[in-house]
């Protein structure tokens, strides 16, 4: 027989993995409500759901996200000893799907997909190794009208989540514009281009002066660590800074500014023409100027973008960064098939979005969806409690019977119900049993009353605040009445 000391040694420590998190009911109830709102918007835009496995062949995932993402893959082996990995986003699996089922998924095809993705990067506050993405993507058309639809859907999601004028902003840029700029500055090498994009992407975080240094000889960061620079010349740097600093009070004004600084040429004309068309499409979809702005400093990291890119942030919660982002990736499907399929989409980082909404007080937090808790005094048979629960549930009222260890007294039961913010307690004691009655207590009234209590006398009297006793056959009707708030 084990001593308790020996048993303690054999215990498995209950621990969540570093960089991962458990979600408690209060977080999940809020999350489910947000997911439903997003789903409803996306279905209105014609997107339909699909699902793909969490695991993919390593070859499917390796490459398209870029070197940094390659390093962050959770890799393992299949039972057949093939190299496999956990997906790092939902876009690459979508591209695989389009190539794999050309007969089933006729173009144009727009889908939504919500599910967990995995990145083995350095965790930090608000950064997790497993997080949920909620994606929309539309394949089959090169038209920027579809990019505009993606942006309109993004804006409508934000509005559906209760964010009003100025509380969210979608920044839009175009990789073609950036390409035009880099080429005319003579920056043709792929690695250098990527380095430049990475540095520019830091602009909102580190400011123009640090960007200037990183584009040149490098700088020393706050901790004293050296950050190597790209090594561009002063003239080129100033041209880049001028380009990414262009702003305007309307999307049109930004385009006019870009037309002034970008050197003439076919690439420039094509890129500006596309952005102008995008602007017109956004206007047709009634996306307001303050909801979606053109911002030449937006780069976005992933390697697979080829056209417009988008990113949404909440100005009231700037340190959460972007809560949603995406863009056009016309070449990703061509990794898998002998044909390119134009596609564009956006992804919500649900965890970050929830955190940012909570920060802004836009999440209503309830620890339960249960409306009635059935409490009992000692000696009341279970069958009576279950019968009450049955009748309430039968009318669609979420009900829990308080079943716990026999040492849970009535006070414990009542305080548990209060702690969970359950609105109604139904109470069955021997008195009620004998007389065929039940007591019903509106715990919301009790909460208000307790807040106003001044003396011990009042406290003692408050025990029965909001409590009525009715015949058993009047139970359901009384509870329904109380819950309807009358």
Q: Does 379 bind its own copies (CB under 8 A)?
A: no
| Cβ nearer to its own copies, comparing 65 with 296 | 65
Q: Does 160 bind its own copies (CB under 8 A)?
A: no
Residue from 96, 171, 195, 300 in contact with its own copies (CB under 8 A): 96
Residue keyed to tokens 């209950």: 14
Residue from 2, 6, 13, 364 in contact with its own copies (CB under 8 A): 13
| Cβ nearer to its own copies, comparing 11 with 452 | 11
Residue from 70, 143, 267, 480 in contact with its own copies (CB under 8 A): 143
Distance, CA of 83 to CA of 73 (rounded, Å): 12
Distance, CA of 417 to CA of 391 (rounded, Å): 20
Residue from 220, 270, 288, 404 in contact with its own copies (CB under 8 A): 404
The order of strands in the sheet holding 109-118 is: 48-49, 109-118, 130-139, 343-349, 322-328, 308-313, 169-174, 292-294
| Number of residues lying near its own copies (CB under 8 A) | 113
Distance, CA of 153 to CA of 136 (rounded, Å): 9
Phi first, then psi, for residue 311 (nearest 5°) are -155, 130
Q: Does 34 bind its own copies (CB under 8 A)?
A: no
CB within 8 Å of 163: residues ≥ 6 apart: 314, 360, 362
Closest by Cα among 198, 163, 129 to 353: 163
Is there a contact between 421 and 369 (Cβ–Cβ < 8 Å)?
no
Q: Where are the alpha helices (DSSP H) in 101-189?
A: 144-160, 175-184
Q: Does 259 bind its own copies (CB under 8 A)?
A: no
Q: How far is the CB of 396 from its own copies (least distance, A)?
A: 7
| Cβ nearer to its own copies, comparing 454 with 484 | 484
Q: Does 126 bind its own copies (CB under 8 A)?
A: no
* Vertex 356 angle, CA 352 and 357, to 5°: 115
Q: How far is the CB of 280 from its own copies (least distance, A)?
A: 6
Residue from 397, 445, 449, 470 in contact with its own copies (CB under 8 A): 397
Q: Does 382 bind its own copies (CB under 8 A)?
A: yes
Binders of its own copies among 163-222, rule CB under 8 A? none
Contact window for its own copies (CB under 8 A) among 93-101, 185-193, 201-209, 434-442: 93-101
| Cβ nearer to its own copies, comparing 129 with 171 | 129
| Cβ nearer to its own copies, comparing 123 with 321 | 123
Residue from 3, 6, 11, 226 in contact with its own copies (CB under 8 A): 11
| Cβ nearer to its own copies, comparing 403 with 459 | 403
Reported for 97-102, long-range contacts at CB under 8 A and 24+ positions apart, including other chains, are 97/50, 97/52, 98/139, 98/333, 98/336, 98/341, 98/343, 99/333, 99/335, 99/336, 99/337, 99/341, 100/336, 102/337
Q: Does 7 bind its own copies (CB under 8 A)?
A: yes
Q: Does 410 bind its own copies (CB under 8 A)?
A: no
How many C-beta atoms surround the C-beta of residue 197 within 10 A? 16
Show the tokens assigned to 439.
């007591």
Q: How far is the CB of 316 from its own copies (least distance, A)?
A: 26
CB within 8 Å of 296: residues ≥ 6 apart: 173, 177, 178, 243, 244, 245, 246, 254, 258
Residue from 1, 2, 6, 8 in contact with its own copies (CB under 8 A): 8
Residue from 38, 111, 199, 375 in contact with its own copies (CB under 8 A): 111
Residue from 69, 90, 152, 157 in contact with its own copies (CB under 8 A): 152
Show the tokens assigned to 410.
């009535």
Is there a contact between 466 and 441 (Cβ–Cβ < 8 Å)?
yes
Q: Does 3 bind its own copies (CB under 8 A)?
A: no
Binders of its own copies among 51-80, rule CB under 8 A? 51-57, 59-60, 63, 74-76, 78-80
Binders of its own copies among 313-352, rule CB under 8 A? 335-338
Q: Does 106 bind its own copies (CB under 8 A)?
A: yes
Residue from 293, 416, 433, 476 in contact with its own copies (CB under 8 A): 416
Q: How far is the CB of 131 from its own copies (least distance, A)?
A: 10
Binding mask 280-299 for its own copies (x = CB under 8 A): xx-xxxx-------------
Q: How far is the CB of 42 from its own copies (least distance, A)?
A: 9
Q: DSSP code of 13?
A: P
Greatest alpha-carbon span in the chain = 93
Contact window for its own copies (CB under 8 A) among 216-224, 232-240, 277-285, 437-445: 277-285
What are the Cα distances from residue 270, in Å, to 179, 283, 293, 303, 307? Answer: 12, 20, 20, 21, 11
Q: Does 393 bind its own copies (CB under 8 A)?
A: yes
Show the tokens assigned to 297.
């400093």
Contact window for its own copies (CB under 8 A) among 29-37, 241-249, 295-303, 423-431: 29-37
If DSSP states are collapsed to H, E and C, what string results for 317-347?
A: CHHHCEEEEEEECCCCHHHCCCCCCCEEEEE
Show the tokens assigned to 242.
């001028």
Q: How far is the CB of 418 from its own copies (least distance, A)?
A: 12
Is there a contact between 375 and 417 (Cβ–Cβ < 8 Å)?
yes
Residue from 70, 141, 245, 276 in contact with its own copies (CB under 8 A): 141
């Amino acid at each position: 027989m084990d001593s308790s000391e020996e048993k303690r040694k054999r215990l498995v420590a209950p621990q969540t993995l570093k960089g991962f998190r458990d979600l408690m009911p209060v977080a999940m109830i809020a999350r489910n409500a947000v997911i439903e709102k997003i789903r409803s918007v996306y279905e209105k835009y014609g997107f339909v759901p699909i699902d793909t496995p969490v695991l993919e062949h390593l070859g499917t995932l390796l490459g398209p996200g870029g070197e940094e993402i390659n390093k962050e893959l959770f890799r393992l082996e299949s039972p057949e000893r093939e190299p496999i990995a956990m997906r790092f986003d939902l876009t690459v699996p979508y591209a695989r799907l389009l190539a794999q089922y050309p007969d089933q998924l006729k173009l144009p095809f727009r889908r939504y997909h919500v599910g967990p993705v995995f990145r083995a990067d350095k965790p930090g506050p608000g950064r997790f190794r497993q997080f949920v993405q909620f994606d929309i993507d539309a394949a089959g058309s090169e038209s920027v009208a579809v990019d505009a639809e993606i942006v309109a859907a993004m804006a409508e999601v934000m509005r559906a989540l209760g964010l009003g004028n100025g509380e969210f902003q979608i920044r839009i840029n175009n990789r073609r514009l950036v390409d035009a700029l880099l080429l005319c500055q003579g920056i043709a090498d792929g690695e250098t281009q990527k380095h430049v994009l990475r540095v520019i992407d830091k602009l909102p975080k580190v400011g123009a002066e640090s960007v200037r240094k990183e584009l040149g000889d490098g700088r020393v960061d706050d901790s004293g660590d050296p950050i190597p620079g790209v090594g561009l010349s002063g003239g080129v740097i100033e041209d880049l800074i001028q380009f990414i600093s262009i702003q305007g009070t309307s999307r049109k004004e930004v385009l006019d500014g870009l037309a002034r600084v970008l050197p003439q040429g076919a690439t420039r004309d094509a890129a500006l023409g596309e952005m102008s068309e995008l602007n017109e499409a956004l206007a047709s979809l009634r996306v307001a100027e303050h909801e979606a702005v053109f911002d030449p400093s937006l780069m976005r990291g992933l390697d697979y973008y080829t056209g417009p890119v988008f990113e949404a942030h909440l100005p009231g919660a700037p340190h959460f960064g972007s809560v949603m982002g995406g863009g056009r990736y016309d070449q990703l499907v061509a990794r898998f098939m002998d044909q390119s399929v134009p596609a564009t989409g956006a992804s919500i980082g649900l965890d970050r979005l929830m955190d940012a909404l909570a920060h802004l007080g836009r999440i209503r937090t309830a620890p339960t969806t249960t409306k009635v808790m059935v409490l009992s005094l000692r000696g009341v048979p279970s069958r009576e409690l279950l019968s009450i629960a049955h009748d309430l549930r039968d009318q669609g009222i979420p009900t829990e019977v308080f079943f716990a260890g026999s040492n849970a007294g009535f006070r414990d039961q009542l305080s548990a119900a209060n702690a969970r913010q359950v609105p109604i307690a139904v109470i069955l004691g021997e008195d009620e049993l004998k007389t065929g009655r039940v007591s019903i207590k509106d715990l919301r009234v009790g909460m208000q009353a307790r807040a106003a209590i001044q003396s011990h006398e009042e406290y003692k009297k408050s025990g029965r605040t909001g409590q009525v006793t009715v015949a058993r056959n009047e139970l359901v009707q009384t509870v329904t009445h109380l819950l309807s708030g009358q």
